[in-house]
Structure formats: C-alpha cells, structure tokens
Amino acid sequence: MKPILYLSVAALLLAGSALAQTPSPTNLGRHPYPQIGKDGRVTFQVNAPDATSLTVNLGKDYPMTRDAKGVWTATTDPQVEGFHYYSLKAGGLSFNDPSVHSYFGMGRWASAVEVPGAPDADFYTPHQGVPQGAVRAVRYHSQVCGQWRQMYVYTPAGYEQNPSRRYPVLYLQHGGGEDETGWIYQGFADVILDNLVAEGKAEPMIIVMVSGVAQKADGSGDGFEQMVTEEVIPLVDKRFRTIADRDHRAVAGLSWGAKQAYDLGLGYRNLFSWVGGFSGIIVIGEFRVRPAGYEDPEKFAAAYNGVFKDPEWFNEHYHLVFIANGEAEGSHLKGMSEILKERGIDNVFYQSPRTAHEWLTWRRCLKEFAQRLFK
Amino acid sequence: MKPILYLSVAALLLAGSALAQTPSPTNLGRHPYPQIGKDGRVTFQVNAPDATSLTVNLGKDYPMTRDAKGVWTATTDPQVEGFHYYSLKAGGLSFNDPSVHSYFGMGRWASAVEVPGAPDADFYTPHQGVPQGAVRAVRYHSQVCGQWRQMYVYTPAGYEQNPSRRYPVLYLQHGGGEDETGWIYQGFADVILDNLVAEGKAEPMIIVMVSGVAQKADGSGDGFEQMVTEEVIPLVDKRFRTIADRDHRAVAGLSWGAKQAYDLGLGYRNLFSWVGGFSGIIVIGEFRVRPAGYEDPEKFAAAYNGVFKDPEWFNEHYHLVFIANGEAEGSHLKGMSEILKERGIDNVFYQSPRTAHEWLTWRRCLKEFAQRLFK
C-alpha cells in the first residue's frame, strides 16, 4: 500500500500563482491536478508512461497529449461552476482518475471536479462556529429486497442535547446511477441544513437518504415504494425522535429520484404532505421525458391514485409542491409548473441560474425547498 | 447517467450452481463478477471490446484473455479467505473495476474482493435482532492541518436511549494508503462491536476513526499527533458522552496505524492506558520494518519518552498492550511480544490463522482486542 503524497502548501501556492489555476476541492490530499483556471477550463494530468492513448470525458471526449516523460494532459472547454462527473478512457474502458475522490455516480464509483466560482457558495460551505448536525450510516435489513442495506440519516444540531424534542422528517432521494451517499458527498445536504438552521431560515429536521435501487428479492420487480413505506419509514419512526405524521413528513428527490419522490409524495397521501421534485417530472399517464398528458382531464384526474381529482382538496391537504431545475436544463419544468397551476394545483417553481442537470442545481434546490418546509 | 443493471436472482442462482462460483459480496448491486470458486480462485470479467491488453493485479499480475465479443476474463490462483484489494491495469495505468464497490486503500479509491470461507465469519456479519450502534460522519475543522476533515464516530447501541450514561473511547487507526472509512467498510468495526456487545463479550464503547494523513498547514511536517491530542480528543470529549480519562481511553491501529497507535498510546501516557498494535511494530531507536534495538538497554529505556524505563511502573499503569498479526505475516511480532516480556513489559499476543497483511487479520485483531478493553 502506497502512502498518499502531499505537495507542500508553499509549492501549491507557487504553482497556483504562476498558472492562475486552483486545484479542484475534490482532489485527494493535496494533489495538484485536476486544476481549474479562472475561465472555468479544467486541466487534467495523469502519469501513464506506458499508455498509448488516453482520453478524459467531461461532458464530451478530450484526447490527452503525452509529454516526453509520459505525463498526459488535457484542458477542457470552459465549464460552468459546480460539480461535474468525469471519466478517464483508454481502450474503450471508462475508469476513475486515481488523483481525486470517488463518488457513487454513473452507476459506479466515479471521479468528479468541483469548478469554483458560484457566487452563493457560502450556503454549502462548512463554517466554523455553526452548530453541526450529525450524519449516521445505518445498516438495515430489508425483507423486501432480501439484503442488508445502508441508509444515511442526518439529525440536526441539538438533537442529542434535547432528548425529548421530536423532529419532522425529509426523505431525500438521489438521481439515477447514484446512491444514498450522494446527497452528503456530492450535495452537502448536511452542511446546507446546518447553515440554514443556524441562520434561522429552516426548521431543524431529520433527513433520511436511502438508495433508490431496490430490486425485490423474489425478482418480481422494483421494491422501492414498498421498502420505503413498509420498512424504512417505520424503522426511522422507531429509531429516531420523529413526529410521525403526514404533516411532518416530506419527500424530495432529483432526476430519477424526483420521479420517485412524486410517486411517494403524491401516491401515498396518507404519508406525505410536502413534496419536492428537482429536475424531474410529474407523470400524467405514461412516463415521458417531457411533461405530457396534462391536456387529458381523465388522465390528469387518474394520476397518482387520483390525488389531483379535486384541486381544492389537494391544495388544502398538501402544504407544498415544489418544482425546480437548472436554467441550462430548459423551460419544460417551468411549463409543467404553469400547467399544474392552470389545472388548479398550487405549486412553487424555482430555477437555479446558469446550471444544468447536476449537483449545484440540486444543492440550490434543497436550499430553497428546505426553507419552505414544516412552517 | 446509466442505471445500475441487475441480473435476476434466478439467473444468478443458475450461474452459481453451474459454475460452483459465488459473486463477491463487494460487487455492486447484483453484478455477477468477480466470482469466487470453492477453491478460492477469483474470476474477473470486464467488457472492453476496444482494449488491446488488460491485466488484473491481485497480489500479482494476471493477464486477461479476450473472447470474440470483447469480454476479458482472468482467474487467479487460490486466495485465502478475506478481503483483498485489486486493480485493473492497462497501458501502465492501474484503475478500478467498475463492477465492484470502491474502498479507500492503496492511496486512492480501490477495488476489492471478499473471498468467503472464513470459519468465524459470523462475528463480522450483521445479524437481525442484534441492537445496532450508529456510525456518524463528523466534519471537523483542524487548525493544525488548516482544513476541514471528516471523522467517523461509532456510538454503541443504547447510546441515545441512555442520555446520562458515559462511555469509554477507543481511537482506531487505519493502515497506510487508507483513511477514516476503512474500519467501517473494509473492517466492519461497527458490526463486530454490535455483535460482541450483544453477546456480553465487550463493554459498550465509543470508537473514533480519523485519517492518519495529517500534514501540518504550515508545511512543517506530520501533524497527526498534535491533531489527535489537541483537537480530536477535546472535540470528542465535548461532543460525545465519554469518560474523559486515561483509564477509559484506548488506542489501536493496523500496520502504519499500529505505529501511530504506539506513538500515541505509549508516547502520551497521560492520555492512554490501553494500547493495541495490529501488524505493526513498537519502535525502539530508529524505525525498522522488523523489531530492532531491543538489545540496547539505553535505547529501550529512552523509547516513547521513557515509558519502558521502569517496567513495574509500566505494568501497574498500563492496563493492556496488545500485539497481533496474521499467521502468514511471519513470526517477528510474536518475537517482539516475547522480547518485551523478557524486558518485563506485560503484553498479550494474538495471531490470526492463515491470513496475511490484510483486513480479515485486522477484523479478528479488533475482535480479540475489544473483548479485553475497559474491564
């Protein structure tokens, strides 16, 4: 096993000032590469003397060039601020860059860069003196899936100092190819809530994160809804000091997880009354990538076990439907929000400036959503 | 982002019975490869139609062979039961297998297989009905290192149900190239303690895991001891319900972490009174891979700020020195234990049957060590 090698801070500062580049915060230890230039271009460097060809893929392929010593380099087009997955590619295989942290995404442990420059980065940055909640990794056995699994549970600052206080709960889902670790390591959900609560902008709440990949043990299909409603929620209500009713239970998710959040939040009206979908659609009729089926009153009234049938009932019983995405994702979710309003369904729409289908969008979505919860 | 693809359980059972192979428990989702045969041989399979050459390294290089469809396969020599890191290699680069979980090891996120067959596997296997402790990921700011870092903290079952009870603490270090996540995901420390406590074999305790890589912010060298003694211990004693004295504080570690554990446990006699070193040496004089310097009474008396100077004092004030390794690592630590006894220093030696410098050895070391703590 090799030790992690660190450059001295002095060497880094020197390199930084000479190149006007900063190492990605996702780099392991004090690895200098990947580096991000002031224009948002990312420079990658890999030591691979024996490689015959090497490519980095960040949104698209960038062939790397080799120097005399066998060090391969590539610089990308300017990237928008935020978190971007990437891969190294050789011989048709995609794999991890050994110089950065890995994150569970793209259906495997994947590499990522964080391009700095978000004007609002403070909200997802840890600050000294802000009281911290705790993130717990909880192993649990799912009968539905026939396997031991892990959930992450965030409890807010003060949870342990106030042993009689009970808290509302947000169930928070990752996107396709990710898992229960995404909202903490890619999303900084714990930091975002710590900061919001410290500023008095959000209610202290428990956040539960489970993997949305939940094949039934008997091979009969997707067990996600059954696992959450019959196993996860009862376990959380038993193990943690929750307020165990629909008025104090929210669900949200991103992308594929937004679909799951709507399935749970709108489909199980006895369990949830606050629903958020980040970069994902409310499905009327059959699933489409873009909102569809809203023009058919029968389909609309039948969706999610008829939850939209009586808009007056809906608006009275649901505290929040929150729809959001990134500006670079286009206007289809803004359109969906407006159609829902036309159909009489109250909802709130939010759009993250500049960003696409990625984690800076979703960090902002969580920040906006969390401030509206349980009030 | 690609969804994770699962084979049906039926297909897996079929494949399993036909080949007498079982998928590694480290595989992502229900990926069929790597598979382990009854003889302990591991078969790897990677889909890489465009690769010109591919090798898997598990202890040594195994060149993979390509079939007509571009699927590459290799089968290793028989492997001893337990956890083994491995890499794929192409073009001189070592990288992760996308079909298995990644673990922080080898100085990066690395792939691993778990070869079943340990006769005592029950002790590190989660069992339904066993009361569970909790593992928390705690972000903390180190002034010494000038950075935000993460520690893992295990609190035993009952910690939250007994808000006035205080607990002893074990500080537990990973090996070289690993980090604070190793003892949970490679080592199952939480499962091991849950099981021991449930059987009444170990005292309920808090376990603190920090990364042993702790370069000082000012570039002046290793800040590990300063960070642990001046920052981590005070933070843990403040944030958790510890019994904050040397009689109730232990430290242990594996390999490089064993050296760190001895540095802390023997070097800071005001802080620790229980010390464990798994697969690592007590350094007399200058560091050697094998124990050395014990024959020189002056060096022996001077080591660790003179802690061994008066063996009678030592044996009276230290509750436990626990020395352990794996059978396949050789007899040098058994020899070290005996030399220490000859020099009048009480200690306990344990050897894990069959295993080498790897995690099944260290799971067993923790199991043996934990049962002797705080009694």
How far does the CA of residue B322 sit from the closest CA of chain A (Å)?
24
B375 is a domain residue? no
Q: Pick the last residue of a domain from A102, A117, A132.
A: A117
Whether B262 and B162 map to the same domain: the answer is yes
A9 is a domain residue? yes
- Asked if A330 reaches chain B (Cβ–Cβ under 8 Å), the answer is no
A18-32: pLDDT as tens digits: 457 999 999 998 889
- Asked if B102 reaches chain A (Cβ–Cβ under 8 Å), the answer is yes
B260-291: pLDDT as tens digits: 999 999 999 999 999 999 999 999 977 676 77
Whether A174 and A73 map to the same domain: the answer is no
- Smallest Cβ–Cβ distance between A136 and the set B94, B128, B134 belongs to B134
- Asked if A13 reaches chain B (Cβ–Cβ under 8 Å), the answer is no
Whether B65 and B162 map to the same domain: the answer is no
Mutate: best of B4, B12, B218, B235, partner A, most A CBs <10 A: B4
How far is residue B358's CA from residue B111's CA, in Å, rounded to a whole number? 14
Whether B43 and B167 map to the same domain: the answer is no
- A111: β partners: A86, A102
A278 is a domain residue? yes
Number of domains in chain A: 2
Q: Contacts by B257-260 with C-beta closer than 8 Å and gap 24+?
A: B257/B172, B257/B173, B257/B174, B257/B175, B257/B176, B257/B178, B257/B212, B258/B173, B259/B283, B259/B287, B260/B173, B260/B212, B260/B224, B260/B225
B318 is a domain residue? yes
Residue with tokens 């306990």: B348
Q: Quick one: closest CA in B to A97, which residue?
A: B95
- Asked if A162 reaches chain B (Cβ–Cβ under 8 Å), the answer is no
Pairing of strands B206-210, B147-155: antiparallel
Q: Pick the last residue of a domain from A60, A95, A117.
A: A117
A375 is a domain residue? no
Structure-token pair, residue B321: 């020195």
* C-alpha distances in Å from residue A182, one per residue of A121, A210, B278: 18, 10, 33
CB contact under 8 A, A96 and B95: yes
Whether B144 and B293 map to the same domain: the answer is yes
CB contact under 8 A, B107 and A48: no
Residues within 8 A of B (CB atoms), A 24-43 only: 28-30
- Smallest Cβ–Cβ distance between A91 and the set B90, B132, B163 belongs to B90
B256 is a domain residue? yes
Residue A274 belongs to domain with CATH number: 3.40.50.1820
How far is residue A81's CA from residue A43's CA, in Å, rounded to a whole number? 15
Is the Cα torsion angle B270, B273, B278, B279 positive or negative in sign? positive
Whether A76 and A198 map to the same domain: the answer is no
A200-254: pLDDT as tens digits: 999 999 999 999 999 999 999 999 999 999 999 999 999 999 999 999 999 999 9
All residues of chain B having their beta carbon less than 8 Å from the beta carbon of residue A289 are none
Whether B147 and B110 map to the same domain: the answer is no
CB contact under 8 A, B30 and A138: no
Residue A76 belongs to domain with CATH number: 2.60.40.10
Q: Is A27 helix (H, G, I), strand (E, B) or coil?
A: strand
Structure-token pair, residue A84: 């971007």
Whether A104 and A161 map to the same domain: the answer is no
Whether A80 and A141 map to the same domain: the answer is no
B165 is a domain residue? yes
pLDDT at A14: 41
Q: Pick the last residue of a domain from B85, B117, B149.
A: B117
Whether B256 and B301 map to the same domain: the answer is yes
A13 is a domain residue? yes
Query: How does pLDDT run along chain B (375 residues), one tens digit per residue?
Result: 333 333 333 334 444 444 579 999 999 988 899 999 999 999 999 999 888 899 999 999 999 999 999 999 999 999 999 999 999 998 888 899 999 999 999 899 999 999 999 999 999 999 999 999 999 999 999 999 999 999 999 999 999 888 899 999 999 999 999 999 999 999 999 999 999 999 999 999 999 999 999 999 999 999 999 999 999 999 999 999 999 999 999 999 999 999 999 999 999 999 999 999 999 999 997 767 677 788 888 999 999 999 999 999 999 999 999 999 999 999 999 999 999 999 999 999 999 999 999 999 999 999 999 999 999
For chains A and B, CB pairs below 8 A equal: 182
Mutate: best of A66, A95, A218, partner B, most B CBs <10 A: A95
All residues of chain A having their beta carbon less than 8 Å from the beta carbon of residue B141 are 126, 128
CB contact under 8 A, A93 and B90: yes
Whether B83 and B110 map to the same domain: the answer is yes
Range of A7's domain? 3-117
Mutate: best of B8, B28, B108, partner A, most A CBs <10 A: B108
CB contact under 8 A, B48 and A10: no
Whether A259 and A310 map to the same domain: the answer is yes
| pLDDT higher than 90, residue A309 | yes
